[in-house]
Each structure stands twice: as structure tokens, then as C-alpha cells.
Amino acid sequence: MKIIYFLFFIFYSANSFSHDCILKGTSAEEITIYNSCKANQSVQKPLHSDLNKSLYKVQIKKLAKENQNLRNQLLDVKIRLNTLMSIINSYIN
């Protein structure tokens, strides 16, 4: 599980440290650099979003399993409380 968090942190930090494409001039060379930067960003974004979706799916599965375990524990507590109540009621009556 630590590996998943580590990978998530790496991909999240990679997105936050990425640079923005800024057009620095009006020359053909500057416009070409700007256009290639924009093209590279549009190609890279789906990759990161797919990886984030995969990480989210893994985390959702983990949380669903944990949720089911907690429901089972709650059901166990309810059964024990009902048993305890029936024992107490038998002593009262």
C-alpha cells in the first residue's frame, strides 16, 4: 500500500512542477517552440489522468473492502448487544 501512495505522490508532484508554455515572442522560432510545448502537454496529460484513474480505482477497491469489514464488525456488535439484552431481560423477568 505504501508503494501506491508513493506512486500517487510522484505523479501528483510531477503535475504540480510542470511548466506552463509561455509565448516569449512573435518570431517564427518562438511560435514553433510554443506550439511544440503545447503539443507535448496535450500528449502527456491523458497518460497522467489514466494513471491517476488507476490509482483511484485501487484506492476505491481498498476502501470498499474496508467498508465491508466495518459493516461486518458493526453487525457483530449488534448481535452481541442483542444477546446481552436478552440475558439482562431474562434476569429481570
Determine the Cα–Cα distance for residues 12 and 9; give it in Å rounded to an integer.
5
Instruction: Band the pLDDT of 20: cuts 50, 70, 90.
Output: confident
pLDDT score of 43: 64
Name the 3-class secondary structure at 60.
helix
The domain in which residue 39 lies consists of 2-92
* pLDDT higher than threshold 80 for residue 60: yes
Where is pLDDT greater, at 61 or 6? 61
Determine the Cα–Cα distance for residues 55 and 49; give it in Å rounded to an integer.
10
Where is pLDDT greater, at 27 or 63? 63
* pLDDT higher than threshold 90 for residue 22: no
- Look at the chain and report how many structural domains it folds into: 1
pLDDT score of 18: 57
